[in-house]
Amino acid sequence: MGEVTITRHGQANSGARNEEEYDRLSDLGHQQAAWLGEYLSQTQTYDRVISGGLRRQIETAQGLNTFGAPHQIDERLNELNYFALSDSLSDMHGVPFPDSPATFAAHVPQILSHWAAEETPPHIESYTDFRTRIFSAIEDACAMEGRTLLVSSTGVIASLTAIALGLEINNKAKMFLFVPHTSLHRFAFHDVAGTPELHLTQYGATPHLDLPERSHAKTMV
């Protein structure tokens, strides 16, 4: 059914304490997107770019699209609501919002376990609904003619990877923590015994950042 490339947005406002503050690229995030666009212009041809509807995703799509492909928005590629999930975890279990890289690394698996256990209030998108929408987005993109580049976020990429590899929550959390900004990933659907199954064909590539003078620009938070 075809293959699709997906990239994570550039570095956002990592010091934020709510979604509105977080949802914009840092200066480095804009530079990461520009470098990715420069690389893709020299090596790839895409017929379209599809981003989620979040500001950081749209800014990344615009920054990398130096090759002038049509840009579409598909809100099914939007990130999970980490801040709302964090508030829910705090309210129900007294777990504070992380204040360092170490506490953030411990916080992510707690968030995902809390979410997967369906303990969250009804105004927060359920774990099942999130998986369904991102799976349908990738399935539709893979079915399109030509080459498609998607711009999304770490939770979407980690969840698709978990679906493709059959990972449990704890291993999914490990993937969540190690998705570099503007890294490239590829997914494909293959027919297995008459059923289309999602396969991971590339993970976490950063060729546009893998230069000595750009080593500082490979970020995950």
pLDDT value at position 48? 97
Phi then psi for residue 18, to 5 deg, are -150, 165
pLDDT value at position 36? 98
Contact call for residues 187 and 3 (beta carbons, < 8 A): yes
pLDDT value at position 1? 61
Integer Cα distance of 164 and 191 in angstroms: 13
Residue 54 has what DSSP assignment? S
Q: Which residues of the chain have pLDDT under 70?
A: 1
Per DSSP, helices labelled H in 117-184 are 127-142, 154-165, 169-177
Which helix (H) or strand (E) element contains residue 185?
strand 184-192
Integer Cα distance of 6 and 151 in angstroms: 6
Domain 3-139+154-211 has CATH 3.40.50.1240: yes
pLDDT value at position 19? 82
Question: Which of these, 95, 20, 42, lies nearest to 208 by C-alpha position?
Answer: 42
In the chain, domain spans: 3-139+154-211
pTM: 0.94
